[in-house]
Amino acid sequence: MRQLRHRRLTAVLAVATLLLTAAPPTAASAAARPDRQPGYHRVGYFTQWGIYGRAFTIKKLDASGAASRLTHLNYAFGNVSEDGRCYVDGGPGEGDAWADYQRPVSADESVDGVADAPGQALNGNFGQLAKLKAKHPGLKVLISLGGWSWSTYFSNAARTDASRKAFVASCIDLYLKGNLPGAPGAAAGVFDGVDLDWEWPNWDGEPGNVIRPQDRENFTKLLAEFRRQLDAYGRTTRAHHPLTAFLPANPATMDAGYEGRKIFTYLDFATVQGYDFHGGWEAVANQQSALRVPAGSPDNPDFSVEVAIDGWIDRGAPRGKLVLGIPYYGRGWTGVTGGGTGLFQPAAGPAPATFEAGYEDYKNLKALAGNGYTVHRDLRAGHAWLFDGTTFWTYDDPAVVLQKMLYIRRAGLAGAMVWSLDGDDDNATLTRTIDLGLTTR
């Protein structure tokens, strides 16, 4: 059975190669000599809250085979206080210390099958991350700071030289040195580096975010301060501590918040948003993660993977430091009228879903195919969708993921990132597909 699945995926890979070869080149795909070293980054986000409704524990990363196929694991998220500090707070909306490091983990949920002992210094997800790293010593674990909900005060933290120094020092102290509240040094060694997920400098994100025109240059200065302090800490640990950032797909956001090539001086690499191009907040069923802008798109200009990657390359980003984001979820609409395949048709609103209207995990969407829903594909544009005549879901299945892996290879990019690992099925099908597509043979 395993050999049969491999042959099927290899066949899809061959078809995707032909499609990419036939496509007209863009700034990204036209690279004749990719300026990157051999080997690809495989970055996965683990969500702090995934242990609840989705019952997605760190043990599942190991048991499914996902952990052995990742190079970096980003833990989402760490919060930023109003006075510009990294902190963990169990208060509503501020953090979840229980999930992070307080929750006693049972033997059934433990990576090594050993339950947390009463009174031990480190429990919860952080304790399991330590066990996961012991089993997979090549895996780098990064604390991802911010995200959509916790980018509110990034601007305060980055505002002055003094605030930047204090912010970075607090993050290194809390996460890399592991000085948890009431437990100094308990989490030392769990985290190897820092991922900045500021959404977005000098651009609207979640309502209420602090935004300043100076954010653009202050973001660069913040990266420089992180690099300086991480390197200084690395001289004591005799290790390199990686620094990465999550970057937007919207060219206007790129110009407003980032100093192009400058930021890559300090970053090991950056992950680029390859999803959320459209969603249930709009009144038309559309693609959320297409490789290229589909023919007949009602929006001009429109978003796509190529638009995002080409946007960063045009602004001076080295292609060998760009990692493409892949969604492990779909965006959906219901009340779709107009017939056809549903694409670009009017919709009444976001589709009902398990946790959030208009948002559904891949593991649940894959069960819809053939179960009242038809799978549709635009092979040239590189996207797929499900439609039952009323409800429409745009998502990445293994065939689309393979096509994107070929794009990464042809464009000379640094690898793939996924949001988020809890959306995959129990066999880590999408993560295995990424590994297949990025493995040099």
Average pLDDT over residues 22-36: 47
97 within some domain: yes
Residues 6+ apart with CB under 8 A from 315: 254, 255, 258, 260, 261
User: Which band of pLDDT confidence, cut at 50, 70 and 90, is reported for residue 435?
Assistant: very high
CA–CA separation, 193 vs 226, rounded Å?
10
Q: Which two tokens stand for residue 364?
A: 């649940």
Provide the whole-model pTM: 0.94
Average pLDDT over residues 414-423: 98
User: What is the chain's mean pLDDT, rounded?
Assistant: 93
Check pLDDT > 60 for residue 333.
yes
User: Which band of pLDDT confidence, cut at 50, 70 and 90, is reported for residue 26?
Assistant: low
Average pLDDT over residues 179-207: 98
What integer pLDDT is reported at residue 90 of this predicted model?
84
336 within some domain: no
Check pLDDT > 70 for residue 408.
yes
Q: Of all residues in the chain, what percent carry a pLDDT higher than 90?
A: 90
378 within some domain: no
392 within some domain: no
Average pLDDT over residues 293-318: 98
Average pLDDT over residues 14-32: 48
Check pLDDT > 60 for residue 240.
yes
What integer pLDDT is reported at residue 91 of this predicted model?
86
387 within some domain: no
CATH number at residue 113: 3.20.20.80
List active site positions. Answer: 199
334 within some domain: no
CA–CA separation, 303 vs 292, rounded Å?
8
Classify residue 141 as exposed, middle or buried by CB count within 10 Å of its CB (0-12, 13-18, 19+): buried
Residue-by-residue DSSP string for 12-39 = HHHHHHHHHHHSPP-TTTT-SS--S-SS
Of the listed ranges 82-96, 180-194, 389-403, the least confidently predicted one is: 82-96
Residues 6+ apart with CB under 8 A from 410: 20, 29, 31
Cβ proximity of 100 and 165 under 8 Å? no
Cβ proximity of 167 and 79 under 8 Å? no
Check pLDDT > 50 for residue 2.
no
What integer pLDDT is reported at residue 440 of this predicted model?
75
Average pLDDT over residues 292-301: 97
Per the structure, the count of domains in the chain is 1
What integer pLDDT is reported at residue 27 of this predicted model?
59
363 within some domain: no
Average pLDDT over residues 29-57: 79
What integer pLDDT is reported at residue 12 of this predicted model?
52
Check pLDDT > 50 for residue 32.
no
Average pLDDT over residues 201-218: 98
Backbone angles phi, psi at 320, to 5 degrees: -75, 0
User: Which band of pLDDT confidence, cut at 50, 70 and 90, is reported for residue 92?
Assistant: confident
**pLDDT tens-place string over residues 135-145:** 999 999 999 99
Cβ proximity of 298 and 388 under 8 Å? no
396 within some domain: no
Range of the domain at 150: 2-328+401-438
Q: What burial letters (b/e) apply to 284-309, b meaning 16+ CB within 10 Å?
A: bbbbbbbbbbbeebeeeebbbbbbbb
**pLDDT tens-place string over residues 366-401:** 999 999 999 999 999 999 999 999 999 999 999 999
